[in-house]
Amino acid sequence: MRFQNHPVSTLALAVALAIPPLAVAEEGFIEDSHLKLVNRNYYFSQDFRNGDFAVTPDGKRQSRHAEWAHGVIANFESGFTQGTVGVGADVHGLWAVKLDGGNGLVGDGRAIPGLVSRDNDGEPKSQYGKAGGAIKLRAFDTVLRYGDVRPSSPVLNASDIRLLPQTLRGTIFKNTSIEGLTLQGGKLESSSDRNASNHRGDLGTVYGGTFKDADDVTYLGGDYRLNDALNFKLHTSQLDDIWNQSFFSVTLAQPLGNGLTFKTGLNYYRTRDSGSALLGEIDNNSWSARVGLGVGAHAFTLAYTRIDGDTPFDYVWNTYDIELDSASQVSDFNNPNERSWQARYDFDFVGVGIPGLSLTARYVRGSDIDGTQATAPQYSYFNGTSDGKHWERNFWVNYVVQSGPAKDLSFNVMQATHRSSGNHYERDVDELRVIVQYPLDLRFL
C-alpha cells in the first residue's frame, strides 16, 4: 500500500494497528509499551568538482546535487504478555516531505544518494511514506520477530544514514541467555529502501545492484564481552545465489591511568561466491586494523584497511555501518585491491565544560586500486582503473542538548571533501550534511 500522497494515513495506520491489542492485552503488554517519535530535518548537498557530474534518471547531467527534507519516524513497541511465552507487536509509520530541491538538484536515492524519492515518471515526490509492523515472541532470554524489521549485524545492518530508515521483511531473533554473550540471526526475503513506499524491494548488493533471483539473505552471529576491556564478534551470512560472507573482530580498550586509554582493534571480512554466483567469481578478503590513544577529552587514532580481491568489498543492498575503519562519509574505500590509511582526531568538549558537544576530524588516503580483473558485468565500471588513488577529508561536529525541555535535541554537521586520480571512477565532490533531530519517547504507564 502506498502513502506518498497521504502522509497522515501513514501515521494513522500505525496508531490504528497498535490500538486493538491494547484493549485485550494481559498485564505487562501495556506497562512496557512505548511510542518513540523522531522528527528529523535533513539538508544534503554535493557539489561536484573538476568537471565531474552525476546523471539523473532522465539522463541529464547534474553538476550539483542539493535537497532539504523533513521526516517523521514513529515507532510503537509493545511490552509482552505474561507467561512462559510472551506475545507483543512492533509498529512503525514513516513520512517524509520535500522542503526544497527540484528535478535538476534531487538525487534518486539509489545510484545518486539522496533524501527524496522519485515517482514512476522520474519526478521528485513532494511527500512519501509507509507503514509496517512485526509480531514478536519472547521465551526465556530469546526474542523472535517476524515482519518488517531492522537487523543490526556486521554482515547485515539496516541503514539509517538518510532521512528515513531502511527496513527488511522476514524473521530475526536475539538471545542473551549467557552473560556477556549476545546471539542473533535471521532470514530476510525483501528490502524496503530508505526512500521507498513499499516493502517488497529486491535484494542485492550495494555495488552490484539488485537481483530478482536473490530470494533471501540469512545471517547468524554473536558478540561476546569478556570484560570491560575486551570484546569479540563472529558473524556469517549467505546472500542467495551471490555469496557467503563471514566477519570476525576483536577490540581492546585498556585504561593506563592518569586519563590515558590505549585502544586497538582488528576487523576481518571473508566473502566468497556461492550458488549460481549472480555476481560472478568473488574471492575477497578485507580487513582493517587500528591503534589509538585517549588523552582526557582527546582521542587519536591511526588505521589501515586492505582489500584483497579483484572485486570490491561489497555488502547487502543499501545496508550500512560496515565495520572497516576507512569507511567514510563519501567513499567506503573498499575498491578492488585498495590499501588505505586513516588519521583521526576526536575531541569531547566536556573537557572544557560543554557536555554534549563533540568534534571529529579525519583524513583517509587510498591507493593501489586495480579493478581491471573484475569480470562480472555489474562490476565493469571498475575495469578502467589500474592504479587508482583518492583521498577524503571529514569534519564532523555534533551537539546534543543535555537537559531541559529540549533534552536530546541534536545538531549534526558533516562536511567532506573527496578527490580522486588515476582514472578512478569515484567523483570529486564537496559534500555537506546538516541534520537536526528531536526524539520523544512516550510510555503509556
- For 321-339, write each residue's pLDDT tens digit: 899 999 999 999 999 999 9
The CATH architecture one would assign to domain 7-443 is Beta Barrel (2.40)
In the prediction, which pLDDT does 5 show?
A: 40
* CA–CA separation, 161 and 194 (whole Å): 9
Asked whether the predicted pLDDT for residue 51 surpasses 80, the reply is yes
Q: If we measure between CA atoms, which residue out of 138, 117, 141 comes closest to residue 127? A: 117
Question: 224 or 140: which carries more pLDDT confidence?
Answer: 224
In the prediction, which pLDDT does 36 show?
A: 96
Write the CB contacts of 142 (distance below 8 Å, at least 6 apart in sequence).
173, 174, 175, 177
Cell numbers placing 397: 561536529
Q: How far is CA 256 from CA 107, 228, 230, in A?
A: 48, 14, 15
Domain parsing of the chain, residue ranges: 7-443
User: Which pTM does this prediction carry?
Assistant: 0.90
- For 236-281, write each residue's pLDDT tens digit: 999 999 999 999 999 999 999 999 999 999 999 999 999 999 999 9
Cell numbers placing 77: 513497541
Strand partners, 133: 91
